[in-house]
């Protein structure tokens, strides 16, 4: 069954933060390519990749921007450089859009103004990952706190009213959703977004969940995002070297 009809002009600018995602990024770009009626442009903001990320993004037809590494810095740059499309979709480069995402997005565009997020699925078969996904779903629905790895679809005017996306290297997602809560409801799209599970495999599932919780707590206590980014990315590098 084809998705419902949408306006002739594609309404969405997609902004993707990427760094060293050459093996995974083409799959996400292929997901987006099946919806030209929705996607006006795809901007891949590269954070100093040392692999073929820039090349594969350009070959897939995305507009590629170079930027200082850091998801918030990259996404903010992409938003600033995007066209005047009425909607924005913010994604990480290691994600895959699940079956039915087009129809879910079309339905969201037709509803009253809101910010929308995907249901998180972490790639991997360990049962503990399913528990993590369930906890994320509860947190997102009950506390209105979806995070950046779940993607975000929202009207550009709503983002502007909330003060935009802060150009910080980490915690930009928590900072944004907390400000969005003052203006709108954050709602599930009822479509899945599958993310790469390598960080969970590298650090360990419960160790990763605990490390993420500690970072969020430190952010709420006022530690600078730059320091938290050093902790977040540094821990992953150390664990890869041990492996």
Q: Could you report the per-residue pLDDT of 67-96, keeping only the tens digit for each? A: 999 999 999 999 999 998 999 999 999 999
Question: What is the predicted pLDDT for the residue at 1?
Answer: 53
Whole-model pTM: value is 0.91
Q: What parts of the chain have a pLDDT lower than 50?
A: 7, 236-243
CA distance 208 to 90: 23
Question: What is the predicted pLDDT for the residue at 4?
Answer: 55
Question: What is the predicted pLDDT for the residue at 2?
Answer: 57
CA distance 46 to 28: 15
Please name each of the domains of the chain with its CATH number: 12-199 (3.90.550.10)
CA distance 145 to 139: 6
Of residues 168, 47, 191, 184, the one with CA closest to residue 107: 191
Tokens in use for 238?
């150390």
3-state secondary structure the chain: CCCCCCCCCCCEEEEEEECCCCCCHHHHHHHHHCCCCCEEEEEEEECCCCCCHHHHHHHCCCEEEECCCCHHHHHHHHHHHCCCCCEEEEEECCEEECCCHHHHHHHHHCCCCCEEEEEEEECCCCHHHHHHHHHHHHHHHHHCCCCHHHCEEEEHHHHHHCCCCCCCCCCHHHHHHHHHCCCCCEEEEEEEEEECCHHHHHHCHHHHHHHHHHHHHHHHCCCCHHHHHHHHHHHHHHHHHHC
CA distance 158 to 152: 12
Question: What is the predicted pLDDT for the residue at 5?
Answer: 53
Under a CB-based contact definition with an 8 Å cutoff, are residues 115 and 139 in contact? no
Question: What is the predicted pLDDT for the residue at 84?
Answer: 85
Compute CA distances 175 → 15, 171, 213, 221, whole Å: 18, 6, 15, 13
């Amino acid at each position: 069954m084809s998705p419902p009809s949408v306006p002739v002009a594609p309404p969405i600018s997609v902004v993707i933060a990427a760094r060293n995602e050459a093996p995974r990024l083409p799959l996400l770009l292929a997901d987006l390519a099946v919806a030209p009626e929705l996607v006006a442009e795809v901007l891949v903001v590269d954070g100093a990749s040392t692999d073929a990320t820039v090349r594969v993004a350009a070959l897939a037809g995305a507009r590629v921007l170079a930027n200082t590494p850091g998801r918030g810095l990259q996404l903010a740059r992409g938003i600033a450089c995007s066209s005047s499309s009425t909607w924005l979709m913010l994604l990480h480069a290691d994600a895959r859009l699940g079956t039915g995402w087009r129809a879910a997005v079309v339905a969201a565009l037709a509803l009253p103004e809101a910010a929308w997020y995907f249901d998180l699925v972490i790639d991997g078969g360990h049962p503990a990952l399913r528990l993590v996904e369930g906890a994320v779903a509860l947190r997102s629905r009950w506390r209105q706190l979806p995070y950046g790895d779940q993607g975000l679809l929202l009207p550009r005017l709503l983002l502007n009213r909330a003060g935009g996306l802060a150009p910080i290297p980490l915690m930009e997602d928590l900072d944004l959703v907390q400000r969005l809560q003052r203006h709108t409801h954050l709602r599930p799209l009822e479509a899945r977004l599958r993310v790469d599970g390598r960080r969970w495999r590298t650090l360990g599932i419960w160790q990763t969940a605990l490390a993420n919780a500690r970072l969020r707590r430190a952010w709420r206590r006022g530690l600078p995002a730059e320091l938290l980014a050093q902790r977040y990315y540094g821990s992953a590098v150390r664990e890869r070297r041990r492996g």
